């Protein structure tokens, strides 16, 4: 009799808690990402990966508001203000580009909101400018370039020609490569941002006596460079970060990218159940192979869901601790945050291969194991 | 700096200039004949590239792709002229800029709607791929040589069209005095549509030719458009000859400046500072050139009196 009563009252309390939960524990997520203009492919992949994870979780208490920043910092700032002040979101995410992240993230976190970065990882937010409410689920910007430097050592390259666009992330890229590369430089070039013709640079590479080329040219710049490089008759090996070799642009580069080694924290053949299910379900849902950006969006959403399951977003300390614990199944396998809320993870060397008609990547090996970033020491939280 | 590297960079500059000419020629014709500032010219370049990529993807023939690029861009140009631009001739330049800017947005998002957000694949035809060795031991991609030759042929053809044909006479007359040639019984609106379509076709051709070595994506036309405006300001607005000379000047300045300025600064500074300063100056070089030309000749090199 007594036990029945106890059970009944527990059930009643639980029922009460559930109705209360349904009424107020709703989490509102603001996603600002690039859905139009030149870099839209990246934003669309992040969005699709994120929404796939939300859909698979079956949760109805997470509401996502999505807006397009058009890759413009001023638009992103406006949207962020709107989301924080009038939409009253609890968590923000979605920004692709570092310059937009720098314009939005500090003010969002200062207003007590959480920000989960699915892509941009500027060094300023990883070191002195780190914040307890800012979590980066992708990488610190330098990471993939550092891995490229490490790969170049292991491949025995002694004299690299390196180039990147003349803007902050380009400088971070070359710095990252040089931080790990032990050989000499045959040349170092900063190209114009948005440049599409690399004939002049390729001529310099040809004349430089280099034994390898490292380049960071995201998006269309990389497509142009690879096509022109393949046609130039210079046949030095090329390494680069995954940004010029993601699933979205490989088809546009075509055979010119075959065999090129690039570094990434994710690939579709990383062997774990989460990743296999992600690749299959993404293909089934959207009819294309996922890119690393899609995997980052997917992981970001799953991190969020893992925290929502453990803590109420209105209890900021508990929610933060739940995010920090990162107890979710990542498509990358093991995943943990360092003290500056940036990932500690393996970064792989991949090779571009052709599977039937589709160009894609295959993992060659680990370039950097359990890699953190160079700025973590400067972060005092 | 060896002779081979220098010669290769000069060829690169020439090739870049020739491609700019295809854009600038249409732009300058349209401005010269109709007095219209057409910001949407870059969109026509993009349409050419997308049409070429789509047709090359479907048929595998680069020649068909080029024909499709010409046809699609000319058709888009004619359509835009008839539907939108025609209403703008007697408006001032600000209205034209606003309307044609709107066209850029419409074309960009329309293209994304049809083709998606990811860049398309368009490659060099097999027969033109790979490098050839020129006299003097210069290795240079065959496709880029083809571009230079094709561009020069178009320049000659355009020159003959303007100086030797009836249409050319009408175009030149239109540049000089619009009312008068209308009064002489020339169907001015047909002439305008024709000139617009011709300019559009040239832009589309440039888009398709260049798309094969760059990336075919939404928004690819706007950076080229800015350079094309610099070209026609340097060459003199309305002058085809000016557009050709201006294109080559801009192409050579941009390419050679980007290569040699950093090296020049390395003689007097430490390398990383020299690279930084040199690259920054190199990106300004064409605008400095434009400024210098305008101080010397305010209407451009071959511009008519203002």
pLDDT at B130: 86
Q: Residue A347's closest CA among A194, A151, A214, A60? A: A151
Q: How far is C-alpha A359 from the chain's CA centre?
A: 21
Same fold, A27-141+270-345 and A143-265+347-377: yes
Q: Please name the residue of chain A whose CA is at the shortest distance from the CA of residue B4.
A: A207
Confidence of residue A67 (pLDDT cuts 50, 70, 90): very high
d(CA A60, CA B108): 36
Q: For chain A, give the percent of residues with pLDDT over 90.
A: 71
Q: Do B213 and A231 touch (CB under 8 A)?
A: yes
Q: What is the pLDDT of residues A220-244, one digit of tens each?
A: 888 889 999 998 989 899 999 999 8
Q: What is the pLDDT of residues A313-345, one digit of tens each?
A: 999 999 999 999 999 999 999 899 999 999 999
CATH number for A27-141+270-345 (one of 3.40.50.170, 3.40.50.2300, 1.10.287.40, 2.40.30.10): it is 3.40.50.2300
Q: Do A38 and B279 touch (CB under 8 A)?
A: no
The stretch B253-277 carries a mean pLDDT of: 83
Confidence of residue A22 (pLDDT cuts 50, 70, 90): very low
Tell me what ipTM this predicted complex has: 0.80
The stretch B57-66 carries a mean pLDDT of: 93
Question: What's the mean pLDDT when you consider all of chain B?
Answer: 89
Pick the residue of B42, B49, B117, B211 with the most A CBs within 10 A to test the interface with A by mutation: B117
pLDDT at A6: 55
pLDDT at A18: 47
Neighbouring C-beta atoms of residue A86, cutoff 10 Å: 8
Q: Which two tokens stand for residue A10?
A: 């527990």
Of A44, A192, A220, the CB nearest to B217: A220
Q: For chain B, give the percent of residues with pLDDT over 90.
A: 53
Confidence of residue B123 (pLDDT cuts 50, 70, 90): confident
d(CA A304, CA B122): 40
Q: Please name the residue of chain A whose CA is at the shortest distance from the CA of residue B214.
A: A224
The pLDDT of residue A21 is above 50: no
The pLDDT of residue B96 is above 80: yes
The stretch B13-29 carries a mean pLDDT of: 93
The pLDDT of residue A148 is above 50: yes
Q: Please name the residue of chain A whose CA is at the shortest distance from the CA of residue B256.
A: A200
Q: What is the pLDDT of residues B97-109, one digit of tens each?
A: 999 999 999 999 8
Instruction: Locate the domains of chain A by residue range.
Output: 27-141+270-345, 143-265+347-377
Confidence of residue A196 (pLDDT cuts 50, 70, 90): confident
The pLDDT of residue A177 is above 50: yes
Q: Looking at domain A143-265+347-377, which CATH architecture does it have?
A: 3-Layer(aba) Sandwich (3.40)
Contact, A117 vs A139, CB < 8 A?
Answer: no
Question: What's the mean pLDDT when you consider all of chain A?
Answer: 89
d(CA B259, CA B264): 9
Q: For chain B, give the percent of residues with pLDDT over 70.
A: 99
Q: Which two tokens stand for residue B59?
A: 């048929």
Buried b (16+ CB within 10 A) or exposed e, A205-238: bbbbebbbbbbbbbbbbbbbbbbbbbbbbbebbb
Pick the residue of A227, A249, A257 with the most B CBs within 10 A to test the interface with B by mutation: A227
Of B117, B219, B272, the CB nearest to A44: B117
Pick the residue of B213, B271, B280 with the most A CBs within 10 A to test the interface with A by mutation: B213
């Amino acid at each position: 009799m007594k036990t029945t009563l106890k059970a009944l009252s527990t059930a009643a309390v639980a029922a009460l808690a559930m109705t209360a939960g349904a009424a107020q524990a709703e989490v509102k997520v603001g996603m600002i990402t690039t859905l139009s203009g030149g870099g839209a492919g990246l934003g669309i992949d992040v969005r699709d990966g994120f929404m796939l994870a939300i859909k698979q979780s079956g949760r109805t208490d997470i509401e996502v508001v999505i807006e397009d920043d058009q890759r413009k910092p001023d638009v992103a700032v406006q949207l962020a203000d709107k989301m924080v002040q009038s939409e009253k979101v609890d968590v923000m995410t979605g920004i692709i580009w570092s310059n937009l992240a720098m314009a939005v993230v500090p003010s969002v976190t200062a207003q007590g909101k959480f920000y989960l970065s699915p892509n941009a990882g500027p060094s300023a937010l990883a070191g002195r400018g780190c914040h307890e409410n800012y979590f980066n689920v992708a990488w610190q910007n330098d990471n993939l370039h550092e891995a490229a430097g490490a790969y170049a050592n292991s491949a025995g390259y002694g004299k690299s020609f390196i180039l990147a666009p003349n803007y902050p992330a380009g400088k971070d890229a070359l710095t990252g490569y040089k931080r790990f590369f032990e050989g000499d430089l045959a040349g170092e070039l900063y190209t114009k941002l948005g440049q599409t013709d690399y004939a002049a640079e390729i001529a310099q590479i040809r004349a430089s006596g280099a034994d390898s080329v490292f380049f960071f040219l995201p998006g269309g710049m990389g497509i142009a460079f690879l096509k022109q490089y393949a046609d130039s008759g210079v046949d030095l090996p090329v390494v680069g970060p995954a940004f010029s070799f993601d699933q979205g642009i490989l088809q546009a580069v075509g055979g010119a990218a075959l065999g090129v080694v690039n570094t990434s924290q994710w690939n579709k053949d990383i062997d774990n159940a989460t990743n296999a299910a992600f690749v299959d379900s993404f293909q089934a849902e959207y009819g294309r192979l996922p890119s690393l950006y899609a995997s980052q969006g997917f992981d970001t959403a799953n991190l969020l869901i893992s925290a929502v399951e453990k803590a109420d977003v209105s209890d900021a300390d508990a929610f933060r601790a739940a995010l920090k614990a990162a107890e979710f199944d990542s498509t990358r396998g093991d995943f943990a945050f360092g003290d500056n809320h940036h990932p500690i993870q393996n970064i792989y060397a991949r090779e571009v291969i052709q599977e039937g008609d589709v160009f894609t990547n295959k993992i060659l090996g680990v370039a950097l194991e359990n890699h953190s970033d160079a700025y973590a020491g400067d972060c005092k939280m | 700096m060896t002779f081979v590297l220098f010669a290769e960079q000069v060829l690169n500059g020439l090739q870049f200039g020739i491609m700019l000419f295809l854009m600038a020629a249409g732009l300058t014709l349209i401005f010269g004949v109709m007095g219209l500032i057409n910001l949407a010219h870059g969109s026509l370049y993009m349409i050419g590239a997308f049409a070429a990529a789509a047709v090359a993807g479907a048929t595998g023939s680069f020649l068909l792709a080029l024909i499709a690029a010409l046809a699609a861009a000319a058709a888009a140009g004619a359509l835009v002229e008839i539907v939108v631009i025609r209403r703008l001739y007697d408006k001032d330049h600000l209205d034209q800029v606003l309307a044609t800017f709107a066209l850029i947005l419409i074309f960009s998002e329309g293209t994304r709607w049809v083709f998606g957000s990811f860049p398309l694949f368009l490659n060099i035809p097999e027969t033109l791929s790979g490098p050839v060795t020129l006299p003097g031991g210069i290795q240079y991609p065959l496709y880029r040589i083809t571009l230079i030759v094709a561009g020069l042929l178009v320049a000659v053809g355009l020159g003959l069209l303007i100086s030797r044909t009836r249409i050319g006479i009408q175009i030149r007359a239109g540049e000089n005095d619009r009312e008068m040639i209308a009064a002489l019984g020339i169907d001015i609106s047909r002439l305008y549509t024709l000139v617009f379509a011709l300019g559009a076709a040239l832009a589309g051709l440039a888009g398709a030719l260049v798309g094969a070595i760059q990336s075919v994506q939404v928004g690819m036309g706007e950076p080229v458009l800015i350079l094309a405006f610099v070209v026609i300001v340097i060459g003199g607005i309305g002058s085809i000859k000016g557009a050709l000379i201006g294109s080559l000047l801009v192409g050579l300045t941009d390419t050679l400046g980007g290569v040699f300025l950093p090296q020049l600064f390395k003689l007097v500074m430490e390398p990383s500072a020299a690279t930084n300063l040199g690259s920054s100056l190199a990106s300004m070089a064409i605008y400095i050139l434009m400024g210098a030309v305008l101080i010397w000749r305010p209407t451009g090199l071959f511009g008519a009196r203002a």
